[in-house]
Amino acid sequence: MTNFVDYVKIFCRGGAGGAGSMHLHRDKFTAKGGPDGGDGGRGGHVLVRGNRNYWTLIHLKYKRHVFAADGGAGSGGRSTGADGEDVIVDVPLGTMARDADTGEVICEIITDGQQELLVPGGRGGLGNWHFRSATNQTPRYAQPGEPREERTVILELKTLADVGLVGFPNAGKSTLLSVVSAAKPEIADYPFTTLVPNLGIVQYRDGRSFVMADIPGIIEGAHLGKGLGIRFLRHIERNPVLLFLVPVDSPDIHAEYRILLDELRQYNPELLDKKRVLAISKSDRADKELMSEMEADLPDIPYVFISSLTGSGIMELKDTLWRVLDEKQEDLP
């Protein structure tokens, strides 16, 4: 579980551009030829690329310095120097790159193969061939290449899933994920069993499916860093639908839902714009009469009573989530 790394800081340096050549053409037939100095090559870029085979940033944990190669110098015969080799940093889908000094978002990687520039390589200098003129037919100067650029970049992984599970520790999130998908999260009867986000593909009707993420449990004050804190709240940011899970034996289901919602609001108010569904878990512990009484005081969002133990309500929950996901997709421009 310690292999899950969702935050790294790397120091990136692009390659310097190669110097242009100050060369005058000479051969056995030409004693005083004109300028023919070639341009310097471009310095290597530092690029970031989405790779669906990665699930964590652990491969970058001990590789904190990323340097691209310098461009080659130009030479005679108007030969351009070789471009410096680019360096590509592969990251999992859902990774956001930010400038560590300014906080500016550089890019977000959400598709496999998506490639974005982190630090550009310097341009190569122009050779003296470019500076010839009627009044200066043998220029004896050329441009140097552009110097290297440096940047410290923060890479932050935010899990990509259609549905994010939100609830207090021990609400039954991991158990639900293990029932609706092939994911096998660690399950035990103590708080914070889940220490990393778990993803599961939920099979739906007619071969359709969606991705559900089990996010480590929220406690009051999580937005301040209490418990597992904001480290995992960011994984909810990309889920279009949030599934709130509250156990049926909670003293006050509505109050527990409000606390969870408030933690999300204090972390990032935009999270309240997401579609929400409420699942009342462990409902095998309540009879129909008790559930009917509870319905009078539930939040005004779609809700389903479920039991991961007996399977009761699981298909109804999938139907509800699919319907809400469809609504979300239709809302998009």
Sheet holding 115-119, edge to edge: 87-91, 46-50, 115-119
* Domain at 163-331, CATH class: alpha beta
Contacts of range 57-61, beta carbons closer than 8 Å, 24 or more positions apart: 57/5, 57/6, 57/7, 57/8, 57/91, 57/92, 57/95, 57/155, 57/157, 58/3, 58/4, 58/5, 59/90, 60/5, 60/8, 60/10, 60/89, 60/91, 60/155, 61/5, 61/8
Phi, psi (deg, nearest 5) at residue 69: -80, 155
Superfamily name and number for 1-157: GTP1/OBG domain (2.70.210.12)
Give tens-digit pLDDT for 146-176: 999 999 999 988 877 888 888 887 767 778 8
Averaged over 301-319, what is the pLDDT? 90
* Distance of alpha carbon 315 from alpha carbon 306, whole angstroms: 9
* Distance of alpha carbon 95 from alpha carbon 157, whole angstroms: 4
Phi, psi (deg, nearest 5) at residue 68: -90, 160
Averaged over 59-81, what is the pLDDT? 92
Give tens-digit pLDDT for 199-240: 777 888 888 888 888 777 665 544 444 444 455 667 777 788
The model's confidence at residue 81, banded by pLDDT at 50, 70 and 90, is very high
* Distance of alpha carbon 209 from alpha carbon 205, whole angstroms: 8
The domain limits of the chain are 1-157, 163-331
Residue pair 250/275 in contact by the 8 Å Cβ criterion = no
Percent of the chain residues past pLDDT 90, beyond the cut = 38
